[in-house]
Amino acid sequence: MRAAAVIITIVVTVAAMARVSAACPGCGGKRSDSMQAAQAGFDKAHASFLAHAASVLKLSPDRILVSPIEEDSSVQLDQRIGAAWAFYGSSKDQPNRQVRGWAIGDGTVITPDKNLGLLLAEAGVWSGKPKLDADALAERLAWAMGMNHRVVGPRSLHVDPGGKGTLSFQVAYRPPGPGGAGGGRERISQCTVTLTADHHARLATTAVATPPGPSFE
């Protein structure tokens, strides 16, 4: 009797799966195709960022580690913006030597210095309903500038109806010291990203004078 019950259960389960398959032929294939396309796009983005990091660090690609190494959402960096995967590449021998930025599925690499309009478009700054506010955008750009960079002071984002605008914020940088500790006084830069109506963006930085330290005379 028990064996018969098991057989009946199997038959019912198979029949149910057949009905689902008949109702939606190709659903599984579509899902698989979508996942394969996402992985292929990620692989191309990863390879392009590896080449970029090798060029910046002046190392052969086999001496570079680029993270993350797969498309799975569970391992993606918090700095990802829409279809722009966030990456950082580092020297295998000197992990503190890093290059940070983004890349998209066609292999285009994005950094604070190039293709920035693509990143801001993914953030929706020209859509009227940005996915990220000025604070979040400033934090991501400061991250891409490298270790020991942090956002300080006010941040603002303004885009007029014609598509022109600015993203403004300040970044502090403390040079590394012995043992990885900070060495010397922080340097503060004013960062201004100019947005154009044709969805391009350019970042300009200017040094901000820091007030003198307290006198103990």
Q: What domains does the chain contain, in order, with CATH numbers?
A: 35-111 (no CATH), 113-212 (3.10.450)
pLDDT score, position 182: 58
Alpha-carbon Rg of the chain, whole angstroms? 24
pTM of the model: 0.79
pLDDT score, position 126: 97
Q: Are 59 and 27 contacting, i.e. CB atoms less than 8 angstroms apart?
A: no
Q: Put residue 205 in one of left, alpha, beta given phi > 0 → left and psi -120 to 50 → alpha.
A: beta
- Residues with Cβ within 8 Å of residue 21, at least 6 apart in sequence: 27
pLDDT score, position 31: 54
Divide the 217 residues of the chain into consecutive groups of 10 and give the mean pLDDT of each group: 43 40 48 82 97 97 96 94 97 94 98 98 95 97 96 96 97 77 80 98 91 49
Tokens of 122: 């993914």
pLDDT score, position 4: 46
pLDDT score, position 181: 55
**3-class SS of residue 108:** coil
How many CB atoms sit inside 10 A of residue 213's CB? 7
84, 101, 194: which is closest to 146 by C-alpha?
101
pLDDT score, position 87: 98
Residue with tokens 């086999």: 62
pLDDT score, position 35: 84
Q: Are 187 and 209 contacting, i.e. CB atoms less than 8 angstroms apart?
A: no
CA distance linking residue 120 with residue 123, whole number of Å: 5
pLDDT score, position 179: 52
